[in-house]
């Protein structure tokens, strides 16, 4: 079937539908954005009321008061009492009679009542002294179309208060749909080829549109929802799979087939611990990418403490062995400095030159680094945004790595790539993204996951404590310090410019001092307003064990590695997001001793706060945590709405529809392998659909 633009009938104005008219059409357009018949059909119900059974009036029971009956309207009248007006009506079926009553919004109802006509009535029955009645029932004139459609599952549509006040209810939307789909002109074009729909048992597009609004059974509703969800993901997957294939075809990467002396020597002689199977798997995937002729474009996900840094280091050694430079860009100076210290220490026995470049690098040192970089005297350059400044020029950058990639904008990342010709790209994140979200958002990247922690790590015990138990918490901290452990206490300075939060931090610092007086205890203070040299001084004092307690803001969220720290106290934990709580917890549990995370709260918790804190106490698994985070906040907020680039799915749930997302991606990859340019006659409807629904001429340019 040739795909065509939606026919003239489906592009008709909704005001021409019976029961709508210009005035209601205007409010529907402004409130719901429904202008045409096509728009109405794509306004899906949120749930269904099962109307599969028509009961007799006498079958009412106190246990099941909701009942659907069908009978003749014997009488109706508008009555006036001291409490105001009300509409009363009487319905009779073969088993008895029942009273109907409306105390408000009866003006619309009374206009549509006709004596001696058959009505279908649904509502909650009450029995008062043997008299049965239904207040504010749903009432609909029975018509042959009801049997024609086999109405058994009634759709319920989302509506605004303004619509309800203008007598636009779910019934009206449903009636609009019925008028459209029962019209002989109704045809809903199919654009997905049957080579895709048939093997995976998808119903047709036309059947899906009918059943999503008026399924006769739950199974029909499920089939319609499955088809539409697949369709939403398939369109996105076609683009991402095409883009990925085009990149591999056109963007030739730097070939790095050699596994040389630096890699082998470090792996065999200087790696002091056994890599996890997950780390080994990821390194193998990256080695294959580097050896191939295409440019690597890979996302590396790994929970806090899973060992992404060592994977990045081994990849940079592969680049060195193949005669190329690498860079590692981090979002903060603290994290960049931490990477520099860690990597320099690990490579001190090898002939690999590692340097650090940040905004705090002195002018003299910066000039020296830039000169050495150009002459290929630096093998690995670690830094912050300073790496993307115009005067930073590499001799031969073969591998660019970005840590905590979600903290950088698209333009910033692209600027780093342009420092060389098609360098291999590895973006890393310690903020786990649910698999469904990663598959959707990062569809053009290959995704590697380190889903295993080192064997010697003990799970961190997470506890929730109320402010009333502070003395108990501080007593526990003293016992940990007496055992030689160190403590983090973090305050929610969410915005570094927030004076209120800064006051909270300083007040907290004074309070901690009152519990842990000098000279017996030494305390470090760290926040983003400090100068870089002071930050480094405080971090080094804590890292070297000179101070036992670090009172800090979230600047220590990533990158700080102090294996001796065994307790993380998070103040006002209800003010943090789930992913941030998990990141902060990951600062402890890096040694062999049992570690603890204590979530302190003062106020009564709302539902999202309770859910976040309960989740933290139940699990250490970042991917489970990210799934809950997705359910609580939605994909745009989890990713950062500004950078998410997500389409507005009407039915697809990125948190739950893993199977459909995976199926759509595999189907798109299969179809493109079969017919990369969609030239086959059977694939023309799909190509035309993609061209008509694009926002940036992507398919027009490549078709």
- Looking only at the bridges linking them, the beta strands covering 596-601 and 565-570 are parallel
Predicted pLDDT at 679: 92
Q: Which of 268-282, 558-572, 687-701 has the highest mean pLDDT?
A: 268-282
**CATH fold of the domain at 461-619:** Rossmann fold (3.40.50)
Phi-psi domain of 17 (left: phi exceeds 0; alpha: psi -120 through 50; beta: other): beta
C-alpha–C-alpha distance, residues 591 and 583, integer Å: 16
pLDDT at 642 over 80: no
Q: Going by DSSP bridges, is the β-strand pair 153-156/47-50 parallel, antiparallel, or unpaired?
A: antiparallel
Yes or no: say if 576 and 584 are a contact pair by the CB < 8 Å rule: yes
* The pLDDT of residue 284 is above 70: yes
Extract the runs of DSSP E, i.e. beta strands, from 418-476.
Answer: 424-429, 446-450, 461-466
Residue 16 has pLDDT above 50, yes or no: yes
Most confidently modeled of 122-136, 399-413, 625-639? 122-136
Mean pLDDT (whole number) for 218-226: 94
Specify the residue for token string 């016992």: 479
Write out the H or E segment, with its range, that includes residue 174. helix 170-181
Confidence of residue 458 (pLDDT cuts 50, 70, 90): confident
Which pLDDT score is estimated for 84?
Answer: 85
Band of pLDDT at residue 166, cut at 50, 70 and 90: confident
Q: What's the pLDDT at 2?
A: 47
Kindly indicate the confidence band of residue 553, based on its pLDDT and cuts at 50, 70 and 90: confident
C-alpha–C-alpha distance, residues 184 and 330, integer Å: 62
Contacts of 238 (CB under 8 A, 6+ apart): 668, 671, 672, 686, 690
Pairing of strands 523-526, 297-302: unpaired
637 vs 644 pLDDT, higher one: 637
**pLDDT at residue 482 in the model:** 94
Tell me the mean pLDDT in the region 128-154. Answer: 80
Take residue 658 and report the two structure tokens written for it.
């893993």
pLDDT digits (tens, 9 = 90+) for 38-54: 999 999 999 888 777 88
What pLDDT digit, counting tens, does each position of 537-547 carry?
A: 888 899 899 99
Peptide bond into 308 cis (omega under 30): no
Reported as a single tens digit per residue, the pLDDT across 307-351 is: 899 999 999 999 999 999 999 999 888 889 889 998 999 999 999
Phi, psi of 323 (to 5 degrees): 85, 25
Q: Could you read off the pLDDT of 507-525 as tens digits, one per residue? A: 888 999 999 998 899 999 9
Sheet containing 549-552, strands listed edge to edge, beginning at the edge strand earlier in sequence: 461-466, 596-601, 565-570, 486-490, 549-552, 523-526
User: For residue 406, what pLDDT band results from cuts at 50, 70 and 90?
Assistant: low
Position 387 confidence tier, pLDDT thresholds 50, 70, 90: very high
Q: Which of 45, 116, 125 is nearest to 76 (CA)?
A: 116
| Helical axes 170-181 vs 205-213, angle rounded to 10° | 150
Q: Are 361 and 532 in contact (CB under 8 A)?
A: no
**Contact 550/524 with Cβ under 8 angstroms?**
yes
Q: How many angstroms separate the first and last alpha carbons of the chain? A: 20
Highest mean pLDDT among 5-14, 261-270, 425-434: 261-270
The CATH superfamily label for domain 53-151 reads Nucleic acid-binding proteins (2.40.50.140)
Better pLDDT: 500 or 279: 279
pLDDT-above-90 percentage for the chain: 50
Strand 565-570 and strand 66-81: the pairing is: unpaired
Average pLDDT over residues 423-442: 74
How much is the average pLDDT of 604-608?
88
**pLDDT for 471:** 93
Residue 475 has pLDDT above 70, yes or no: yes
Edge to edge, what strands does the sheet with 325-329 contain? 354-357, 380-383, 325-329, 397-402, 424-429, 297-302, 446-450
pLDDT band at 675, cuts 50/70/90?
very high
| Residues 366 and 357: beta-carbon distance below 8 Å | yes
- Mean pLDDT confidence for 522-530: 86
Verdict on whether the full-model pTM lies above 0.85: no
Contacts 24+ apart (CB under 8 A), 623-628: 623/303, 623/432, 623/434, 623/435, 623/451, 625/432, 625/578, 625/579, 625/582, 626/431, 626/432, 626/433, 626/434, 626/437, 626/578, 626/579, 627/434, 627/655, 628/578
CA atoms within 13 Å, Cβ hemisphere of 418: 10
What average pLDDT score do residues 524-535 get?
A: 84
Report the mean per-residue pLDDT for the chain: 86
Instruction: Encode pLDDT of 557-590 as tens digits.
Output: 655 678 899 999 999 999 888 888 998 898 898 8
| CA 178/CA 17 separation, integer angstroms | 10
Higher pLDDT, 21 or 415: 21
DSSP-derived secondary structure letter, 294 = B
The answer to whether 570 and 465 are in contact (CB under 8 A) is no
Domain with CATH 2.40.50.140 in the chain: 53-151
pLDDT 10s digits, 101-137? 998 878 888 888 999 999 999 999 998 888 899 999 9
Domain with CATH 3.40.50.300 in the chain: 261-450, 461-619
> Which whole number is the average pLDDT over 414-442?
76
Would you say 512 and 600 are in contact if contact means Cβ atoms under 8 Å apart?
no
Mean per-residue pLDDT, 376-383: 96
The angle subtended at Cα 492 by Cα 486 and Cα 494, nearest 5°, is 130
| Mean pLDDT confidence for 578-606 | 88
Q: Greatest CA separation found in the chain?
A: 99
Is the pLDDT at 498 greater than 70? The verdict is no
Q: How confident is the model at residue 442 (pLDDT cuts 50, 70, 90)?
A: low
The pLDDT of residue 422 is: 83
Q: Which residues face 380 on adjacent strands?
A: 326, 354
CB 449 within 8 A of CB 439: no
Q: Who has greater pLDDT, 631 or 683?
A: 683
How many other CB atoms are there within 10 angstroms of residue 372's CB atom?
Answer: 15
Alpha helices, H only, 516-577: 532-543
DSSP symbols for 30-73: HHH---BHHHHHTS--SEEEE---PBPGGG--SS--EEEEEEEE
Q: Residue 642: how many CB atoms within 10 A of its CB?
A: 9
| pLDDT(494) > 50 | no
Q: Residue 306, Cα to own-chain centre: how many angstroms?
A: 22
Q: Please identify, in words, the CATH class of the domain defined by 261-450.
A: alpha beta
Q: What is the spatial distance between Cα 124 and Cα 155, in angstroms, rounded to a whole number?
A: 18
Is the sign of the CA dihedral 641, 645, 650, 653 positive or negative?
negative
Token pair belonging to 275:
């890599």
């Amino acid at each position: 079937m040739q795909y065509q633009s939606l026919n003239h009938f489906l592009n008709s104005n909704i005001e021409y539908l019976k029961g709508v008219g210009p005035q209601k059409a205007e409010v529907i357009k402004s409130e719901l954005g429904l202008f045409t018949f096509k728009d109405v059909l794509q306004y899906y119900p949120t749930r269904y009321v099962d109307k599969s059974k028509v009961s007799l009036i006498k079958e009412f029971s106190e246990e099941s008061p909701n009942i659907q009956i069908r009978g003749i309207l014997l009488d109706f009248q508008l009555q006036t009492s001291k409490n105001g007006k009300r509409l009363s009506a009487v319905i009779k079926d073969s088993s008895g009679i029942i009273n109907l009553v409306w105390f408000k919004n009866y003006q619309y109802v009374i206009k549509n009542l006709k004596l001696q006509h058959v009505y279908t009535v649904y509502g909650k029955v009450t029995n008062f002294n043997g008299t049965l009645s239904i207040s504010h029932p749903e009432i609909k004139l029975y018509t042959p179309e009801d049997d024609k459609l086999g109405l058994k599952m009634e759709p319920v549509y989302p509506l605004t208060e303004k619509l309800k006040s203008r007598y636009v209810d779910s019934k009206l939307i449903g009636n609009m749909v019925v008028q459209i789909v029962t019209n002989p002109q109704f045809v809903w074009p199919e654009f997905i080829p049957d080579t895709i729909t048939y093997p995976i048992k998808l119903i047709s597009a036309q059947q899906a549109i009918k059943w999503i609004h008026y399924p006769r059974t739950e199974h029909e509703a499920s089939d319609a929802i499955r088809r539409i969800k697949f369709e939403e993901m398939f369109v996105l997957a076609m683009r991402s799979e095409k883009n990925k294939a085009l990149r591999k075809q056109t963007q030739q990467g730097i070939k790095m087939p050699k596994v040389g002396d630096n890699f082998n020597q470090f792996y065999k002689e200087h790696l002091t611990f056994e890599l996890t199977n997950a780390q080994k798997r990821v390194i193998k995937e990256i080695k294959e990418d580097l050896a191939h002729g295409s440019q690597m474009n890979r996302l590396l996900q790994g929970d806090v403490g899973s060992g992404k840094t060592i994977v990045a280091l081994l990849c940079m050694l592969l680049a060195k062995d193949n005669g190329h430079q690498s860079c590692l860009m981090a979002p903060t100076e603290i994290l960049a400095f931490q990477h520099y210290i860690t990597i320099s220490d690990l490579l001190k026995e090898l002939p690999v030159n590692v340097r650090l470049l940040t905004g705090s690098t002195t002018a003299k040192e910066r000039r020296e680094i830039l000169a050495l970089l150009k002459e290929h005297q630096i093998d690995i350059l670690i830094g912050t945004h300073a790496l993307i400044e115009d005067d930073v020029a590499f001799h031969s950058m073969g591998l660019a790595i970005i840590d905590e990639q979600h903290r950088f904008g698209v333009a910033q990342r692209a600027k780093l790539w342009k420092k060389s010709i098609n360098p291999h790209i590895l973006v890393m994140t310690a903020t786990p993204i649910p698999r469904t979200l990663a598959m959707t958002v990062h569809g053009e990247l290959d995704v590697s996951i380190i889903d295993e922690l080192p064997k010697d790590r003990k799970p961190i015990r997470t506890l929730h404590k109320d402010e009333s138990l502070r003395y108990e918490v501080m007593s526990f901290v003293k016992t940990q310090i007496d055992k030689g452990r160190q403590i983090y206490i973090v305050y929610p300075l969410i915005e570094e410019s927030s004076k209120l939060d800064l006051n909270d931090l300083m007040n907290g610092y004074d309070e901690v001092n009152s519990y842990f007086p000098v000279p017996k205890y030494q305390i470090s203070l760290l926040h983003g307003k400090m100068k870089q040299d002071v930050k480094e001084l405080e971090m080094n004092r804590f890292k070297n064990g000179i101070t036992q307690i670090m009172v800090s803001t979230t600047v220590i969220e990533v990158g700080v590695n102090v294996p001796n720290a065994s307790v993380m106290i998070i103040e006002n934990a209800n003010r943090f997001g789930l992913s941030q709580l998990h990141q902060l917890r990951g600062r402890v549990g890096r040694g062999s001793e049992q570690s603890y995370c204590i979530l302190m709260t003062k106020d009564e918790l709302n539902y999202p706060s309770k859910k976040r804190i309960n989740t933290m106490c139940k699990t250490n698994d970042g991917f489970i945590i990210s799934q809950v985070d997705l359910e609580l906040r939605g994909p745009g907020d989890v990713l950062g709405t500004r950078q998410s680039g997500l389409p507005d799915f009407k039915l697809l749930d990125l948190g739950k529809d893993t199977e459909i997302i995976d199926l759509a991606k595999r189907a798109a990859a299969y179809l493109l392998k079969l017919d990369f340019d969609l030239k086959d006659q059977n694939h023309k409807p799909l190509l035309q659909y993609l061209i008509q629904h694009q926002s940036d001429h992507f398919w027009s340019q490549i078709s």
